[in-house]
Amino acid sequence: MLELPELELYRALLAERCAGLRITAFTIKNKALKHLKSRLQELVDTSIWFVERRYRLIVFHLDNGKRLTFAFNELGYPYFCAAEEAKGIKGDLIISFGDKNLYLTGVESESIGVLSVKQLEEGLKGQALDPLDKRFTPAKWNESLSKKRGYVKSALTDAKLLPGIGPLYSDEIAFAARISPNTKVSDLSGEQREALYKAIGSTIRQSISSGGVKGQRLFPGDELSGGFGEQLQVYGREGEACRRCGSEIARITVAGRKAYCCPQCQTGN
């Protein structure tokens, strides 16, 4: 799955490039999306007012009051450029804005919708609080964590607790908090809970400002994307030296999931 920093980078690109533009055409390149043709066609000549992200869903607010939604699969990403720069660029769905194009690769067919505000909100009911939401406070975090059993690794990858955090960022967050992923949640001290809360925010923000871990360029001349991949502290680094203490990074199994950690740094002290 795409994790939150990458989703947020895609949202930011779309907001920066597409807000204010008028849609002039949809071109469907993937057969699996052909059935959407007439529904999308109705949106030609509408303008995008605003772009938001609701967990995995990208939502275009259109000037006709409707919401155009879509989500990317794990390999999906957007690419924005002038039509003349598009040589060799593919995509499942292309949204044109006059002489500029947005190429959407890896869009999940079932996620594409043209919805009213009410339909959108109903579909998202009961969704957990996004870790980047202002309402995700230390108190909220403590409250949700206190209902959780099992290990830190399981808690950090629980979509009901932290939507958008998966295998990679859960390990990086645990490292930043200096807590082992196989610590039991019930054994965490107040300080450790707070350290995890801070690590969630700092890890996500650091990744976003460094371009996330996915290397695909999102526009011509994009030099930022994928930059966080070189800063990973533990994920995928089994046997390599810890950047903090020099010990070997270990790969362990926690409740059936693999987790990377530094046995020396992540003792919870």
Residues whose CB is less than 8 angstroms from the CB of residue 13 and which lie 6 or more positions away in sequence, other chains included: 78, 80, 218, 219
**64: helix, strand or coil:** coil
Compute the distance between CA of residue 187 and CA of residue 149 in angstroms, rounded to an integer.
10
* Nearer to Zn ion (CB atom), residue 153 or residue 214: 153
Stretch that binds Zn ion, among 23-31, 86-94, 165-173, 237-245 (CB under 5 A): 237-245
CB of 201 to Zn ion, least distance (A): 22
Compute the distance between CA of residue 162 and CA of residue 197 in angstroms, rounded to an integer.
11
Phi, psi dihedrals of residue 60, rounded to the nearest 5°? -90, 120
243 binds Zn ion (CB under 5 A): no
241 binds Zn ion (CB under 5 A): no
End-to-end Cα spacing for the chain: 32
117 binds Zn ion (CB under 5 A): no
The counts of H helices and E strands in the chain are 7, 10
262 binds Zn ion (CB under 5 A): yes
CB of 231 to Zn ion, least distance (A): 15
* Nearer to Zn ion (CB atom), residue 209 or residue 247: 247
If binding means CB under 5 A, how many residues of this protein chain bind Zn ion?
7
244 binds Zn ion (CB under 5 A): yes
CB of 131 to Zn ion, least distance (A): 25
Phi, psi dihedrals of residue 252, rounded to the nearest 5°? -120, 170
176 binds Zn ion (CB under 5 A): no
- Residues forming contacts to Zn ion in the complex (CB under 5 A) are 242, 244-245, 247, 262, 264-265
